[in-house]
Amino acid sequence: MQIEEKYKKDYAVSLVKIREERARFIKELEKIEGIRVIPSQANYVMAEITNKISSKELTKILLLKYNLFIKDLSGKIKLDNRQFIRLAVRNSSDNDLLVKALKEIFQEEV
């Protein structure tokens, strides 16, 4: 609690940056056919996979081929065989790498 005042301004600035990056990230994800983004106010975004690939398979491809890790929510959310993933909101370059990889993967699935 003693250092709270020291970092209060930096914390407020970082919250604004996260909010801005989350909005930009969501906008980019919404352009990908095969993903339905579920907006959030958190430091992550949940998305439903709307094409044939499973969340488990997508997680595996992203990790093995692109060295990117996402959270597969198939073990947590069971809704009529719908597939969900959780994507962390990171910095612009990391988010852009993920968006690019997702676009490539979903274009291959068409």
Contacts of residue 37, defined as CB under 8 A and 6 or more positions apart, other chains included, come to: 26, 29, 30, 45, 46, 47
What is d(CA 88, CA 77) in angstroms, rounded to the nearest whole number?
Answer: 18
pTM: 0.86
For residue range 51-105, list pLDDT tens digits in order: 989 999 999 999 999 999 999 998 766 667 789 999 999 999 999 999 999 999 9
Residue 19: pLDDT over 80? yes
| Domain at 4-109, CATH homologous superfamily | Aspartate Aminotransferase, domain 1 (3.90.1150.10)
pLDDT band with cut points at 50, 70 and 90 for residue 1: low
Q: Identify any residues that bridge with 49 across adjacent strands, giving them in sequence order.
A: 35, 83
Q: What are phi and psi of 72, to 5 degrees?
A: -80, 120
Q: To the nearest whole number, what is the mean pLDDT of the chain?
A: 91
Q: What is the pLDDT of residue 9?
A: 87
